[in-house]
Every structure is written in C-alpha cells, then in structure tokens.
Amino acid sequence: MEPRAVLAGELGLIGLFDLGQLLQLNGATGVLSVAHDGRKGYLYFDAGQIVNAVDDEYHEGEGAAYRLFTWKLGTFEFRHEPPSGARAISDSTEGIMLEAARRMDEAGLIEGGISATERLQTHSGKFEALREVFQNVALAARGATGSTDSGEDSPPLQRVREDGDALVYRPGHAPRLRQQGQWQTLDIAPLDSAAYEQFKARLLEGVWPPLGPGDRGPQTRTTTLEGGRRATVTVLPAPNETLWVRPAELKPVASERLEGPLDALFGLLGLPHGLVLVSGPDAASADRLLHSVVAMLVQHRPATLLLVGDTDHWKHREEHGLLLRASSTEAKGLLESLAPEVVAFDTASGAQSFSALHAAPLVLAAVVAHDAGTTLARWLARHDRRVEEAGTVLAGMPLGVVHTPRARASDTLPFLAVRVGADGDVADDPASAVDLESPAPTAASDRSLTTPARAPKRRAAESASSVPNPSVPKPAPIASSDPMRALAEELGRQLRKSA
C-alpha cells in the first residue's frame, strides 16, 4: 500500500526552503515530491537531512537538489517512507539550502528586492526560535534532566512498556506515571498550555485519522515513539484536557509462565461448545488473562477464533488456529458471515457476549471480578440478568471459569480454572476434551486442542485394556479451591432448578 501523504499543498503558498526547514526541524524521514507543468522532482529526507534528490531529468545528488529549490510554483507532497538506497548527498540540509540560495542570487533570481540568501536567513531565525520551543517541550516531557520519585532517570515515554503502564499529561500539572498498579508524580516541570499543545502535536504527528478538533468525546490514536515502539494515546477533551499514553504492543503470558491447573485450562479450551468466563480483579488483569488464554488456543487448536475488541494492543502468534479481529461494532456482522468456532470478547466488549451464545459454539468473555466465586454473577450483571433468568440459555451448556487473583503485571500469571458439565456437576476429568497427540507430551504447551470426537472412544479402549497407554497421561484433578467449588455448586443448583 502506498504511504499516505502527511503534508501537501501549493508551492505558491509556501516555498521549498520553508518546507526544507520544517522537515529538518521535525527530524522527518520520507520523500518530498514536487510537481509543476508535467515535471516532477524528489527530495529524500532521513531524520531531517536531505540524503538525495532527483530532478525532472532524473539527475541525482546535490546538483538536482539545487535545481529543485529554484521551483517557485507547483504542488508538493511529503510522505513518510523508510530511507532507501545509498546516501548521495553528504552536506547538511542547511548547507544544501544555503548553497542553492547563493546560486539563485548569482543567477539574479531575486524576489521583491530581497535576495534568496537574505530570505533564507530571515526564515532560519524564526525556525531556530521554533526549534528552541520544541526542544524545551521535549526536555520537559521526556524528563531528560530530571529523575523520577522512584530514582529512575529514563524518559517517561520510554517507561510505558508493560500491560497496565500508563502516563498522563495535563496542562499545568506534572506528569503522572502508573506502573505495577501504583501511581506516582514525576519530578518534571509541568507543561503550560502552549507547551502542552506543542507536545501533543508532536506526539500525534502523522497519525491517521487526525484528531477532530470539534469532537467532544475521547479520541484514541496509535503513534510511534522514538526507537520505533508503538503507543496508544487517548485524548480527553477540555475542560479536562488530558493525554493518556499506554503501550500499544503487548505480549500475552506464555503457557509455561502460567501458574495453575493447566490440565483444567486445556480441558476448557478443548470444549466443542460452551461458555468460558475469564476474570480478574480489574480490567487490565482480566484482559491479560484472556489474551493469554487466546494465545494458547490459537497455538494449539485448529479453530477459527474471532477476537472482539476495540484495540489491537495484543500480539498473537498463530500456529494451529486462525485469529481474526473485529471491533465491537463489527462483531455481529462477522459472527453471521464467518461462523467461527470460537469468539472471544475483551472487557470493553463483553456486553455482547451473552447474545453471541446463539452465534458461536464456544464463547470466551473477560469479566472484572474480585474473586472466582463472583465471576458468573458479574458477567450476568453486565447483561442485566440473574442466574435464574439465564437458566434457559445456560441449561445444558458446559461452563468454565478461569480467574487470576493478581492485579499487577509480572512475568508469571497465577490462575484457577474449573469446568461445570452440562448436568451442572463439576467435571472430574478436566482434560476430557483434549485430544492428546502421540508421543506423550512433556509439557502442556506440546498439546494440540481439537474437537473431542475421538476422546470417548479412546477412554473406552483404555478401559478394555489391562495395559495402560503411556502416550496418554492421567489428567490431574482440579485444584482444590473453595470459591471455585462454591461457584460450580451454585451454578449446578440453579441450572437444575430452572431446567
């Protein structure tokens, strides 16, 4: 796909010298193309420096750049593109423009009695003042000369890396940083209103679609920080103007870093149909556990999974399964047209998960719940329903709950898991829906999750034989957990009562 033009206009309104200074000031990388009367030329920038030029006769290098700067009329477009090819110009952008202006003066190309060199120097003074403003904003925003309350001196934007991290900027306030579930005020000078607006403009430079100035609601965009990391920026409008910065690329916790009954979890992911509620004490922990579960599913089960959420922060690696993403507004249409075997909803989109029970065989939904025992009630409350009212829908449907008690992000993720059978009883064989491949797996991550059509036959064959099958390990029982048992017993009682 061709890169999108982020700057375009008429050369009669702004000159190439002004454009060159602007792109140098911003440290831009890309291609500035100019066109006039069927002629085209190109100036190539890398971090604000002109590294090559091609004129309308396909000449390259400094000579081509000098000729292009004489163009007074036409149109221009600047597109963000990575640098390509060898550097053909060794002089700086400022040096190229000064030499181009000198040559124009020698050729008598003077406008309004002012030489090109004088005009360039006048504009350079204005751009130097603007450069100083940008540097002051960057200095305050990045905390380059200050340290934080925690003693760390890395720039704030570089510290927003993990799930749950957040950085908040407000005019007139020192930045606030959230890490490991704790907020702290950074020892950085507050940005005044003008500096704040300039910082916001630089942070969101080139994002698409651009922010709507008349939009009264929050607006969220994804931008690229220094070093190539991606971040999500949510802008809360006046009178509570705020920039909320969070990491935009998160990795789910790997299965070997999950601490809990993996056999029970694999049993839930192998269900051919049912409802699996994934909960945590806050939205960040519930979503983190959900995406860790989704990562296991797409790596080990050859199913089509539709992941519903309005962000794409989480990065998943597909192996056996196919992962498709949809926003909350797209979910209904894609469920009808794609008919996926599994659909998963994050906490922000979970209000649609109840209706999805009629559209997909297996539904996963993230829920904010303080403990495992309240997960079902919290999920039903999201849909304004009680257990008794939902009985006709849930009756005969296997239900699973996966819960993490940890609100803070870390390298490991503890969890509890339980499955309630179609008859409302706790499943004694949590891995019964897992089709285990031979040879015997050495870890849970080696298993392949499929529809359990062959599982009953396997168990019958094993019962008839006096020789145990070494390729099928005995499933571990569900770990003892009073809240989980209470949930299973209450659900089973309610389902039998409503049936």
What are the boundaries of each domain within the chain? 5-134, 149-247, 255-498
Q: Give the up-direction half-sphere exposure of residue 457: CA atoms within 13 A in the CB hemisphere.
A: 4
pLDDT tens-digit series, residues 42-56 = 999 988 899 999 998
The mean of the pLDDT values for the chain is: 75
As a dihedral over the C-alpha atoms of residue 309, residue 315, residue 320, residue 322, rounded to 10 degrees, the angle is: 40
Residues 6+ away with beta carbon under 8 Å from 91: 62, 99
Give residue 130's identity as a one-letter amino acid code.
L
pLDDT at 425 over 50: no
Alpha helices in 422-471 (DSSP H): 455-464
- Please give the average per-residue pLDDT across 418-446, as a whole number: 45
On the question of pLDDT at 134 being above 70, the answer is no
Q: Which of 21-30, 198-207, 311-320, 436-445 has the lowest mean pLDDT?
A: 436-445
State the average pLDDT over residues 168-192: 88
Using 50, 70 and 90 to split pLDDT, how confident is the model at 481? very low
On the question of pLDDT at 310 being above 80, the answer is no
Long-range contacts of 159-165 (CB under 8 A, 24+ apart): 160/231, 160/245, 160/246, 160/247, 161/229, 161/247, 162/247, 162/250, 162/409, 163/247, 163/250, 163/284, 163/287, 163/288, 163/409, 164/284, 164/285, 164/288, 164/408, 164/409, 165/246, 165/247, 165/409
- pLDDT given at position 252: 85
The confidence score (pLDDT) of residue 307 equals: 92
Rounded to whole angstroms, how far apart are CA atoms 39 and 177?
Answer: 51
Higher pLDDT, 353 or 227: 353
Listing from the earlier edge strand, what are the strands of the sheet with 322-326? 322-326, 304-308, 342-345, 362-368, 274-280, 399-403, 416-420
Position 479 confidence tier, pLDDT thresholds 50, 70, 90: very low
Mean pLDDT of 107-125: 69
Q: What is the mean pLDDT of residues 67-78?
A: 89
Q: Round to the nearest angstrom and report the end-to-end CA distance of the chain.
A: 55
Percent of the chain, pLDDT > 90? 18
pLDDT at 210: 81
Task: Report residue 434's pLDDT band, with 50, 70 and 90 as the boundaries.
Answer: very low
3-class state of residue 150 by DSSP: coil
Q: What percent of the chain has pLDDT over 70?
A: 71
Q: What would the two tokens of residue 161 be? A: 């890396």
Backbone angles phi and psi of 444, in degrees to 5: -60, -30
The reported pLDDT for the residue numbered 361 is: 93
Mean pLDDT, residues 286-302: 90
Position 163 scores a pLDDT of 72
Residue at token pair 């033009």: 5
Name the pLDDT band for 6 (thresholds 50, 70, 90).
Answer: low
pLDDT number for residue 404: 93
From residue 204, give the alpha-carbon distance in Å to each of 221, 223, 428: 8, 6, 53
DSSP string, 46-111: ETTEEEEEE-TT--BSHHHHHHHTT--SSEEEEEE----S-----S-HHHHHHHHHHHHHHTT--B
Domain 255-498 falls under CATH 3.40.50 = yes
Give 303's contacts (C-beta < 8 A, 6+ positions apart): 297, 320, 321, 322, 340, 341, 342, 449
Instruction: Decide whether 149-247 matches 255-498 in CATH topology.
Output: no
Indicate the class that CATH gives domain 149-247: alpha beta
Separation of alpha carbons 422 and 469, rounded Å: 28
pLDDT of residue 302: 86
Answer whether residue 417 shows pLDDT above 70. yes
pLDDT at 447: 45
* DSSP at 243: E
User: Which tokens in the block code for residue 461?
Assistant: 């064959």
Q: What is the pLDDT of residue 227?
A: 65
Span 168-176, average pLDDT: 92
Predicted pLDDT of residue 135: 47
* pLDDT of 294 strictly over 90: yes
Of residues 497 and 200, more confidence is placed in 200
